[in-house]
Amino acid sequence: MSVRRFRAYGAHLGLLAVLGLVAALLVTAAPRLANGYGDRGLRADVQRLPHLVRDVSIAVEQRPHDVTVAEAGQAALDQHAEGLPQPLPALIDRRWYAAGLPEEKLTATGDDPPMDGGATKLFGLRAQTGVPEAAVVVAGRWPRTQPGGPAELAVSQRLSETLSLRPGTRLRLTGPGGVAQAQVVGVFDPVDADDPVWDDLKVGLEPVVPIEDGEPYVTRAVTDWAGLDGVAMASGVPAVYSWRYRVDEHRLTTSTLAEVTAAVAETRRTEWLPGSTVQTSLDFALVRFADQLNAVRALLAVVQAGLIASLLGLILLAARLAVQRRRDELALLRARGASLTAIGWRTLAEAAPVQPVAVLVGALIGSRMPGRTDGGLWPLVLLALLTTAVVPALAMFSARRVGTVARRADLIRQRPSVRRLTLEAGVLVLAVVGVLLLRRRGLDAAGGVDAYLSAVPVLVAVAAALVAIRLLPWPLGLAGRLAGRARGALLFLGVARAGRGDPVALGPLAVLIVAVSTGVFGGVVTTTVAAARDRAATLTVPGDALLTGYAFTPDAGAALAEVPGVAAVARVWVDSNRRLLSDDGPQARLLGQARVLVVDGPAFAEVVAHSGVDIDVPAALRAAERGDAAVPAVVSPQVAADLGDAVVAADVQGRLYGFRVAAVADDFPGVGLGVERFVVLPWQALPEYADTPIIPNQYLLAGDDIDQARLLGVADDAQRQRQSAVLGVAVTRPQLPAAVQTWRAYREGLDRTGANEVLTLAFTAGAAGGTALAVLAVGFAVVADAGGRGRMLSRLRTLGLSAAHGRRLLVYELVPLVVVAALTGAVVGAVLPRILGPTLGLSAFAPGVPIRDHLDPLVVGGVLALVVLGLAAGLLAESLVNRRMRLGEVLRLGEENG
């Protein structure tokens, strides 16, 4: 093939090459990015899990006479790891062996010197590998228990300060079978308190200090293997031996998610030792992540199918346009005796050196995207074959009949053939059947993406496009008759050309509808998930911030209100598994348990008003006043069904408060997500006494730029005052340091969990890709009939038509097509999530909150902006096509190709 033919048809070849490159880039980059984001989300989720969930621990409890030396269990640490089901052995990173005596079965006493505080000391022991290497001894030494001597202990510096334990302190550890002697020989500090080696020793680093009268101290000390054996034998407390294995999250990938989940489940079902148990919930966490990942993969497959369908449509349109521009050349070749095969080889020789290279370049660019590829090469091979063979195939098809007389295409009104009507009816049937199957079977990507079900939204969009194409000429014909009565010819000519229904121009209309529906579908799904997460954040943090602690002083709210940035404060007490009793006096019956929330109604309403969160505080809570025997309450439907209209009592910090059901709600802010049984009481209406006030453990706050450091300082001061008043001694540190959770931080945290980055990728690809392809489709609609439009403008300019009038004529021609396509695509994209319903699996992205379809005004605004952008693209394409057109040449030549 000569260089001149390359230069002559370079624009058409280049356009097809660019489309092939973009399609190859989409096919290659989207899976890599999805895999990369999925892997990163999986690792982040596993890293945030508590150790009791993410680690695999094998534990066995044995009586003292059943084991002689605790140290012997170290030999099985590597043995158990190698015996784990595949692929777990290669995923295990750190491992620990430990032997411990539970603190609830051992009580510590001492008088040499006496331990501080008069409350009971529940004192556990633990010997564990890796602890000496993760700590620094600040006083004394590490335990080295001698045969026949007392068990030697090491305690944390915090425990040493709390119970006045120093090196040399002697303790008596009392168990159900006797008393063991022990001695503190060392005090240590952890190098890093967040190191997972300390996960089972947290109560030793930060002992639990009693808050109310009668509560014990709860703590744990470190000993060596011989010391633990001695205490277990003397006290009669069964020792718990455990082998703990940590799965390295950096070695996890979504490609092995199913295998790892199955292996962890099999590990839990295996009895590794007689009477042993396996403690882990990693498989359940992985299943939850897999649900999100499957849902978002299915969504991404839908978006990708829409984009690929739009690209394939543009490729076909570009090929058809190229063949149309060469119609005279092909007719001349046929007239000179060229066969269809010769025409096919001639056009194939032009495409073969270009299209496969373009697809390869697109694939190489896509392969440089971050992520992991796990797909085959067959989509790229098919794409290369399609882009290479589409022009030869269409050229051979169009050259079947040779015409010797040029016809005026603008006067031909083509009727659809029976073949075309049958094809369109088939598409409609496939779309309807696909929707029915999708609603019945779901779009589950766990076993691989179903190509047909993933393409159902595209089929629905194509079906809508076919219907719109068939119906569009009727309203445009009516509009044309009305425009004929108006002054001037521009509006009439524009509407008349739009309603002529040229098949070359209607092809871009179908592509435009598919592209717009894909973008709007992704936008609606994303805004639906975002609205559900907003609701989840509001139910969890019903204000600008939520302050949580163990127990504050009753008057802490006044001090918190003085913190800079705080505009309103509402006191809250919430606790789970509180008793609900029939209010029958001594014969009260237990009616069940529920989570009870006590909140100051008017203050809560003030916090809501200042925060601007979407909450409607029930009037029963706001207007309740003290004095009524039974206060109004908001309860869940399950509680309402059990209680009926009877007056019952709820247990609030050991006291019973009578209430009546005033309102029923599926959820309530502050109660928590997914709580099915709850009771909400108005604090201001509950009777309180000076010596037995209700002690708040939470505060709802409203305000901008709250000084969180100052807020936490004031909160911890209040907790220390409350704790000191209960214990009768000065407390230097609160039992549970206060924590603040802002609405914004919690909401951002939801966006960082699970497969959210893949969801964002699907939305971005749908919105950006749909917009770009829609603009290209409008450009094709202009270029497809550029020759005919150029001849018409040339003739009209001889009658006085200006360049500005020419642009206005093009706008009149494009507005009906673009508006109809944009509206049709927007309606299809907005309706698809409702049609597909739960098959999308969006509930996995906002657990505990119902998913409701949500159409953000920004999506509607985006569609309107797309109309304007499409018209601008059409004007630009018209300017580029006709920039070299000369009026005289067009009138003189009068060629059909323009």
Torsion sign, CA atoms 535, 536, 540, 545 = negative
> How many whole angstroms from its chain centre is CA 133?
39
Q: Read off φ and ψ for residue 279, nearest 5 degrees.
A: -110, 110
For residues 97 and 59, what is the distance between their CA atoms, to the nearest angstrom?
A: 10
- Tokens representing residue 559 in the block: 């001090």
For residues 674 and 679, what is the distance between their CA atoms, to the nearest angstrom?
A: 14
Q: Which residues are paired to 570 by β-bridges?
A: 700
- Residue 790's pLDDT is 67
Report in angstroms the alpha-carbon separations of 645 from 480, 617, 676, 682, 890: 68, 22, 19, 18, 88
Within a 10 A sphere around the Cβ of 480, how many other Cβ atoms? 21
- Tokens representing residue 452 in the block: 């047909």
Residues whose CB falls within 8 Å of the CB of residue 704, separated by 6 or more in sequence, listed in order: 544, 565, 567
| Calculated CA dihedral for residues 776, 782, 785, 788, nearest 10 degrees | -160
Q: Are residues 13 and 358 in contact, defined by beta-carbon separation less than 8 angstroms?
A: no
Q: Read off φ and ψ for residue 854, nearest 5 degrees.
A: -135, 120
Please report the DSSP string for 698-748 in residue order: EEEEE-SS--HHHHHHHHHHHHHHHHHHHHSS--SS-SS--EEEEHHHHHH
- Residue 499's pLDDT is 60
Residues whose CB falls within 8 Å of the CB of residue 367, separated by 6 or more in sequence, listed in order: 28, 32, 373
Residues whose CB falls within 8 Å of the CB of residue 138, separated by 6 or more in sequence, listed in order: 157, 187, 188, 189
**Cα angle 44, 49, 54; round to 5:** 105
**List of the chain residues with pLDDT < 50:** 1, 409, 411-412, 503-504, 887-888, 892-898
Q: Are residues 345 and 401 in contact, defined by beta-carbon separation less than 8 angstroms?
A: no
- Tokens representing residue 593 in the block: 């348990």
Report in angstroms the alpha-carbon separations of 566 from 609, 673, 711, 716: 13, 26, 9, 17
Residues 867-870: contacts with CB under 8 Å, at least 24 apart: 867/818, 867/819, 867/822, 869/771, 869/775, 870/512, 870/774, 870/775, 870/778, 870/814, 870/818, 870/822
- Tokens representing residue 129 in the block: 């590998």
Look up the pTM and report it. Answer: 0.77
Query: For 595, how many CA atoms within 13 A lie in the half-sphere containing its CB?
Result: 18
> How many whole angstroms from its chain centre is CA 766?
16
Range list of H helices, 588-693: 601-611, 619-623, 637-643
Report in angstroms the alpha-carbon separations of 564 from 392, 541, 544, 698, 844: 74, 20, 14, 19, 39
- Look at residues 554, 570, 592 and name the one whose alpha carbon lies nearest to residue 689: 554
Residues whose CB falls within 8 Å of the CB of residue 28, separated by 6 or more in sequence, listed in order: 362, 363, 365, 366, 367, 369, 373, 380
SS (H, E, C) 746-815: HHHHHHCCCCHHHHHHHHHHHHHHHHHHHHHHHHHHHHHCHHHHHHHHHHHHHCCCCHHHHHHHHHHHHH
